[in-house]
Amino acid sequence: MKKTRLLNPQLSGAIASLGHGQGLTVCDCGLPIGESVERIDLALTHGVPGFLDTLDVVLSETVVEEIIIAKEFIHVSPELYQQFAERIQLLAEEQGAPVKVVQVSHECFKAQSDLSKAVVRTGERTPYANVILKSGVAF
């Protein structure tokens, strides 16, 4: 059995295969996922697993240099956004480098998520609870 937090083999493999600058999307249960991108569907029921729970595990396994969000996330779901922002600040401290957060329109976000290495679908129901994590390097 693996020693680290992440137990899902499909998600573990997707993270292990990320190259510098490649994206991994973590999304709510409503984001459309293109046919050409790998879908890692973790959703069990509404809210399970949650966006933040999933993000915490993914961030524990991934070097992140940039994050893309829909600008609507900040205004439509401010409480969840604040919890997300706190995690990103901690991530930057742990990595010893800033993590750039890029805001785009939701339409642009959907198009960019289709370019990700994989899309991880959670059971989250909070609007715009979606991020694209751009892989950094560990050296």
* Residues known to be catalytic: 20
CA 119 to each of CA 18, 21, 41, 97, 116: distance values in angstroms, whole numbers, following the listed order: 12, 15, 8, 25, 7
Length of the chain: 139
Cβ–Cβ < 8 Å for 97, 65: yes
